[in-house]
Amino acid sequence: MLISAIQPISAIQMRSQSGDRPSVSLHARLRQATAESHGMLDKQFGRFDLRQRAGYRGFLEASADALLPLEAALVEAGVKHLFPDWPLRSRRRAILDDLARVDGMVRLLAVPPPLNFGQILGTTYVLEGSRLGARVLLKVVTQSSDPVVSTTTAYLSHGSGQHLWRSFLVMLERHGATLGRTLSSEKDVINGARQAFALFAQAAESRARENADPAP
């Protein structure tokens, strides 16, 4: 459920440089290459009951455990040079504020190895794509009978109305067009995305187990 609701984009196509035949967008190729990881992650995050405080706390903790080291890796790699509006995109402060409201604790996973150009694109694709799923989850959270849960939405509502996903896609395709002129390749982009999905999956699995078997 973290990344759910990413819209089908099989029809999105761009002309190749030669103009002789259409080529599928980088966004579409990324979506296809990471579909299995995406689907598995949805199932893992679906184990949290977001209407209950314990379940929502576990969801936020799992999200933060992966999000914070991924954002740190992006900053270290110079994400602001590719996405100058990075300060608007970072959700570090938002998720920490939410965790404080539900008495959650962060248990950071290991920061990924240094990211290259392509891996920055792939990692950012996963983080930005999660905004679409957040819209769906937000509807569930705001209907909770627990007022603490229903009003703790800084993370899920972050960037609302700013069209950050749409502007990200424009920059993704623009940067993707330069892959052949850099030391990175499309494989790096896909690997970066899969690495990000895997980190979220690791966090979700750990927190879901704790949520199912609370300490006595």
Domains of the chain in start order, with CATH, are 25-209 (1.20.910.10)
Q: Of how many residues is the chain composed?
A: 216
DSSP string, 12-71: -EEE-TTSSSEEE-HHHHHHHHTHHHHHHHHHHHTTS-TTSHHHHHHHHHHHHHHHHHHH
Q: pLDDT tens track of the chain, all 216 residues?
A: 454 433 333 333 333 333 433 378 999 999 999 999 999 999 999 999 999 999 999 999 999 999 999 999 999 999 999 999 999 999 999 999 999 999 999 999 998 899 999 999 999 999 999 999 999 999 999 999 999 999 999 999 999 999 999 999 999 999 999 987 776 799 999 999 999 999 999 999 999 998 776 554
- In this prediction, residue 16 carries a pLDDT of 36
Q: CA separation (Å) from 128 to 55, 61, 109, 210? A: 23, 19, 20, 27
- In this prediction, residue 215 carries a pLDDT of 53
Residue with tokens 């940067």: 175
- In this prediction, residue 1 carries a pLDDT of 46
The whole-angstrom separation of Cα 204 and Cα 196 is: 12
- In this prediction, residue 24 carries a pLDDT of 84
What is the model's pTM?
A: 0.87
